[in-house]
Structure 1
Amino acid sequence: MILVTGASGQLGRLAINALLEKTDASNLIAAVRNPDSVKDLAEKGVQIRQADYSQPDTLLNAFEGVEKVLLISSSEVGQRTAQHRNVINAAKKAGVSLIAYTSILNADKSPLILAEEHVATEKLLSESGVPYVLLRNGWYSENYTMSVAATLEHGVVGCAEGGKLSTAARADYAEAAATVLLKEEQAGKIYELAGDESFTLSDYAATISKVSGKAVSYHNVPEAEYAKILVEVGLPEGFAAILADSEVGASKGGLFNDSKTLSTLIGRPTTSIEDSIKASL
């Protein structure tokens, strides 16, 4: 049995779908806070179990009889380490044979503040005694393309300077997770996962211009100013600061990787940023 945590989220749903293409639904468990949110998965034959990262008892029940767990990192920045500890402890008590954890690209040397909780989780896994594999995911292309409509109106704004971004579509990472979960002898492996193609935000603006037919340019601003802009468009102050820090990290190479490990793992080229822009438009 393979259990996917956070199965109602964007990556979780895609991971379940990728697994359904490779194995029978009877082998899969979707762990979610609210089972009603994944009725469609239940209709496909996926077993649904209630589980909350912050409620250890629910995790113990959810992991009963489970062989492998895809631990999708919590979306609650600042609470991740404690929540992930609960998951790891429950998996250990349940005798899980493998945890696949979605970490961050170049975690052990990343300049991004976001990497701190991932590094802490990797340490917890190392100390747990539970076999594990690290899926160090790079940036999702959707982090940018989800706001492409606003970009067409206002241009690309950021503080990444000329830093290269090796993004891939969220579905690419989900397919990689499914592939790893169905492979044997994965314990101890570390996959640095990123898109085949890398681009700067100036390149991104040029690609939007090409695809849309409307001239778009990139405006680089100081980190504090970018964070302020994000707050003005509705993001919480703390999260805005983290995103701005991530762009500065990108300027230092924190979101670049040219190993093509992701495309090798999934057996095809990763989705290009141009195709992601087209899909978003």
Structure 2
Amino acid sequence: MVKISLFMVGALVGSSYSNPVAKDDYAPDTLAYEHPGSVIRQMQPSRGGAVLHDGINSTGEYKDFGGINTYLSYPSSKKTDIAVLYLTDIFGLPLVNNRLLGDSLAKAGYFVVIPDLFKSDAIPSDALDPGSTFNMTAWRMRHTVAMADAIVEQTIKTMRSELAVKKIGAVGYCYGGKYVARFLAAGKGLDAGFTAHPSSVELSEWDAVGYPLSIAYGDLDASNNASARSSAEATFIKGGKTYQTSLYAGAEHGFAVRTNLTDPKKRFAQESAYVQAVRWFDAWIK
């Protein structure tokens, strides 16, 4: 086991990191480079040999399960008994960041399953840019909670039956965070969960969580403001739940998947959220 101290992490971030996007040239749509940097390979708390993919090409494979296009990324052992169900943000599988992050979790020792939550209708990466004419209201009407529930439920059943998974931890980013909460309820099929900057989670959904849950927040994320965070934590405390929350300074909504890695605060937040997820699953589903 590799033990990591805060001093070691600070040294690694300060001396080992490099990023191909120069600060003056940074543009929000340069998504290919906005994924966990190579420094994280040295920060794996339980598997020192695990490495992250440094390029911009994902290394997993696609397979269809009952009409759901699914991205699979295997650990070096090729074992599937301990798995992470990855529930994406609104940009879905087309965004390489999501696949790269899935590959990184696989290289940390987990079999990773990423279903297409949007049936080939994920939001384009430029949809939120100024001047975009993308109709978000119409898109949301096409993708209801019931539809997402059905995809997640079917994927969990597939993991248990066809893929021989014994324990499932789920990660959810933005949009996907709501479904981590919903499927951590009793009898829904998950054993533990992690979410970063979750979107549209209702207090009743937090209250129904019955398994260990870790949350990464950014202090610049208006959708998870101080009041919302306090309400969620009060619910966890009142219910005696097993939970952990971390708040990262200078981190905006979406930081765990895509952010400006030339900003030290944002880079630290993204890398730390990744380590937070891995450590949580090491503790609760290994």
When the two structures are superposed, what TM-score results if normalisation uses the length of structure 1? 0.34
Asked which structure has the greater CA Rg, the reply is 1
Structure number with the higher helix fraction is 1
